[in-house]
């Protein structure tokens, strides 16, 4: 970027009282990403010499979240005395390390996460090209409440910015507002920093007053209007947070669609910042993609599915299901109404059907877990089939143990595999079995009690019930049928008829 050396200061010390939250405003996420990370990454995209983040409320949490990002420094504002005070602390820290004052400083407020690097480059280059001492981004909004108003004289020239708490009645309806983005020539504005006062209703040092002092001293002050109000909107309460979420979500989905992804209903599709989706994948209504999710090509996700930190291979289908911190190889099918919990890995062509739950397990290629099955803490081989109602019993009330089912095995319906246990290659378990010992390869494991039928039990033990009545009627009908079918019954009838004749 042409011009003087550039530094960026991000004002991120405030608590964000209007959020009514226990979390610092700059740590509140927009589309799955905290506000402060948007600002830091945007600042770093300009490749400045320094990025200084002024922290205050929950300073250690903010620093811990950002970690050791290259080129990012921190300045602590212990007493939250306003934006002017925060900026002064940043300048003092900067000058303590280097004496070069011939540099531009870009100042960003910690409530504008949707800024694009292109907008900031335009501001810095215009500021330098026009030889300005100070420049500020302004924007036209439909509702100016909460913003500093931009005042102009009769000729339309900028005169000053008045904070929302200090506006006069005649100024309340002014729709041009301060976007909280500035560019200052450090050498020129240094004399004005010490002139800032707290002579206002909020008893704070206002950063925009520097513009007024520079103008009064005959220095050049520029206003640069933002073309898109959504990009520079502040996020200071939950209503504005929802608006910012919607704006960011539209941009994310627009970029996905232009890259070759089909989004059948953008209004009901929610995709976090940073999610990757491959070409020819279809996102159906009700799809929610969060965190570090990566989806391959040619998949169908949804309807009504949520994936978080999931890795999905090409050609997969996930519908009406939840996938958390799990990996799906190519051509896997999940759903409907299934739940993949963390640390699940499905091999190529595996199928997880209706009402199945899997957690902390590996499932081999081509294995089918079709319906009403729980698999936890297990290693399942390739081409295994689980019958309906099968359960891996992984928890004994104190410890969780692992189960292994080898390639080609068949787990019969309503089988309980009580961990730790192994089912060998090609082995079968009979339906209704509770398996507590290892099953050798190719064996059939039968582990169920012998069936006994206690005749007449219902009539004796449940008299007067519908069941007893039906049982009695069935018994009578059975006895009548047996009499009619008894040997000699027809002969007797014929003999009687002959005697009468």
Q: Which residues are catalytic?
A: 371
β partners of residue 29 = 34
Counts for the chain of helices (H) and strands (E), in that order: 11, 39
Structure token digits, residue 269: 């599709």
Say how far residue 124 (Cα) sits from the centre of its chain: 34
344-363 core/surface letters (b: 16 or more CB in 10 A; e: else): bbbbbbbbbbebbbbbbbbb
Token pair 């499932």 is found at: 363
**163 and 202 in contact (C-beta within 8 Å)?**
yes
- Between the alpha carbon of residue 220 and those of residues 129, 195, 465, the distances in Å are 12, 18, 97
Say how far residue 104 (Cα) sits from the centre of its chain: 37
- The number of residues making up the chain comes to 501
**340 and 324 in contact (C-beta within 8 Å)?**
yes
Torsion (CA) 221, 226, 230, 231 in degrees, nearest 10: -80
Say whether 375 sits in a helix, a strand or coil.
strand
Run of H or E residues at 483? helix 466-485
* Contact residues for 1 (Cβ-Cβ < 8 A; gap 6+): 46, 47, 121, 124, 125
Is the preceding peptide bond at 336 cis, omega within 30 degrees of 0?
yes
Closest CA to 114 of 243, 293, 261: 243
Token pair 């939840």 is found at: 322
Query: Cα–Cα distance between 73 and 71 in angstroms, integer?
Result: 7
**148 and 161 in contact (C-beta within 8 Å)?**
yes
């Amino acid at each position: 970027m042409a011009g003087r050396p550039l530094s960026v200061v991000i004002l991120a010390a405030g608590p964000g009282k209007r959020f009514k939250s226990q979390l610092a405003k700059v740590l509140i996420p927009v589309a799955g990403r905290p506000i402060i990370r948007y600002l830091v990454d945007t600042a770093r995209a300009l490749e400045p010499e320094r990025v200084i983040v002024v922290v205050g409320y929950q300073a250690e949490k903010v620093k811990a979240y950002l970690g050791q990002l290259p080129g990012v420094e921190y300045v602590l504002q212990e007493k939250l005395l306003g934006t002017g005070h925060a900026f002064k602390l940043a300048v003092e820290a900067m000058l303590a390390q280097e004496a070069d004052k011939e540099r531009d400083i870009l100042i960003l407020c910690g409530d504008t996460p949707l800024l694009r690097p292109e907008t900031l480059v335009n501001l810095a280059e215009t500021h330098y090209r026009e030889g300005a001492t100070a420049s500020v981004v302004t924007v036209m909004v439909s509702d100016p409440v909460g913003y500093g108003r931009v005042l102009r004289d009769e000729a339309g020239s900028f005169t000053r910015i008045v904070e929302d708490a200090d506006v006069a009645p005649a100024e309340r309806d002014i729709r041009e507002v301060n976007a909280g983005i500035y560019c200052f020539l450090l050498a020129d504005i240094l004399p004005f920093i010490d002139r800032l006062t707290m002579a206002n209703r909020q008893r704070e040092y206002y950063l925009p007053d520097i513009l007024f002092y520079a103008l009064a001293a005959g220095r050049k002050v520029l206003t640069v209007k933002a073309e898109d109000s959504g990009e520079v909107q502040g996020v200071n309460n939950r209503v504005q947070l929802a608006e910012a979420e919607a704006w960011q979500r539209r941009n994310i989905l627009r970029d996905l669609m232009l890259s070759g992804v089909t989004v059948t209903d953008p209004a009901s599709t929610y995709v976090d910042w940073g999610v990757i989706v491959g070409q020819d994948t279809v996102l159906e209504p009700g799809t929610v993609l969060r965190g570090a999710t990566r989806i391959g090509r040619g998949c169908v996700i949804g309807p009504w599915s949520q994936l978080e930190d999931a890795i999905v291979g090409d050609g997969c289908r996930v519908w009406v299901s939840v996938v958390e911190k799990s990996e799906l190889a190519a051509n896997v099918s999940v759903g409907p109404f299934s739940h993949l919990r963390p640390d699940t890995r499905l091999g190529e062509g595996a199928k997880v059907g209706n009402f199945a739950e899997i957690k902390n397990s590996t499932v081999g290629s081509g294995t089918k877990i079709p319906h009403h099955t729980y698999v936890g803490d297990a290693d399942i081989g390739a081409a295994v089939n689980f019958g309906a109602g099968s359960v891996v019993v992984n928890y004994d009330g104190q410890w969780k143990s692992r189960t292994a089912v080898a390639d080609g095995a068949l787990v019969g319906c309503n089988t309980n595999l009580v961990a730790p246990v192994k089912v060998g290659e090609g082995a079968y378990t009979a339906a209704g079995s509770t398996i507590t010992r290892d099953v050798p390869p190719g064996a059939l494991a039968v582990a169920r009690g012998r069936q006994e039928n206690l005749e007449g039990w219902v009539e004796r033990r449940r008299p007067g019930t519908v069941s007893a009545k039906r049982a009695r009627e069935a018994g009578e009908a059975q006895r009548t049928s047996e009499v009619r079918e008894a040997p000699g019954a027809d002969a007797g009838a014929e003999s009687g008829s002959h005697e009468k004749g």
